[in-house]
Amino acid sequence: MTRQKFFAGNWKLWGTQAEAKALIAALATGIQGSKHRILVAPPYTALAAVKQAVKGGPILVGAQDCSALESGARTGEISVGMLKELGVDVIILGHSERRQFHNETDKLVNDKLKLALKHGFEVIYCNGETLAEREAGKASEVVIRQTKEALAGLSEADLGRLTIAYEPVWAIGTGKTATPKDANDIHQVIRKTIAELYTKKAADAIIIQYGGSVKPDNVKELMAMSDIDGALVGGASLKADSFLAICTFDK
């Protein structure tokens, strides 16, 4: 089955409004006519500027997280309603940096996922093992557990608005990429888990991105793998030339 490739730039803690506008302007021409889906996820403070800058073009806008509550006493958090008002299309949830530095659990990620879907968003749900877990031979086990916990209570119809990003923690920002085969093996494990939880049809259709030091010089071999359907890109999404090279890897 052919799945449309999906490339997403996670800007993390980068991007003033001025930087964001300049980067979108530099991406716009190169991205035109792309047959792939393209998304940028700036910090909250640049979302409005980015939404305005991408207007009329194909680039989707993502937020990097959201609160698990619709409203209430959560100093510093941003609600799904606030993101909706800004015209955000997609919310990234469960990123390993949220898990590591903000103690997010699979249960919390599941709560956020259900809330985001209920409010009509698409979600990029991230999972992946740590170096210690990989070295202990537990990569598959960890990713299966994370996937099951994240998807608890979701219907097969919900999966139509869900992308999974497999991001081995040890490959993020380190310059170490999983080999295309190692990444593909885990993508197949995730797809098999979806088939067991839902149907083969749902498993065949779901988009699974790879993330972790994706660069212009390794994107081609990763995208050549049977079960890798795009990438969630950090560092290389902050420069127009490298993100464009990734998004147009097959041109």
Q: List, by residue number, the catalytic residues.
A: 95, 167
Residues near 141 by beta carbon (within 8 Å), at least 6 away in sequence:
none
- Binding residues for ligand 13P (CB under 6 A): 10, 95, 167, 172-173, 211-214, 232-236
C-alpha of 51 from chain center: 18
H or E stretch at 193? helix 180-197
Euclidean distance between CA atoms 134 and 138, whole angstroms: 5
- Of the pair 81, 173, the CB lying nearest ligand 13P is at 173
Measured at CB, which residue is nearest to ligand 13P? 234
- Of the pair 201, 220, the CB lying nearest ligand 13P is at 220
Min CB(6)–ligand 13P separation in Å = 13
Euclidean distance between CA atoms 183 and 164, whole angstroms: 13
- Bridge partner list, 8: 39, 232
Min CB(234)–ligand 13P separation in Å = 2
- Of the pair 121, 125, the CB lying nearest ligand 13P is at 125
Min CB(193)–ligand 13P separation in Å = 21
Euclidean distance between CA atoms 1 and 41, whole angstroms: 28
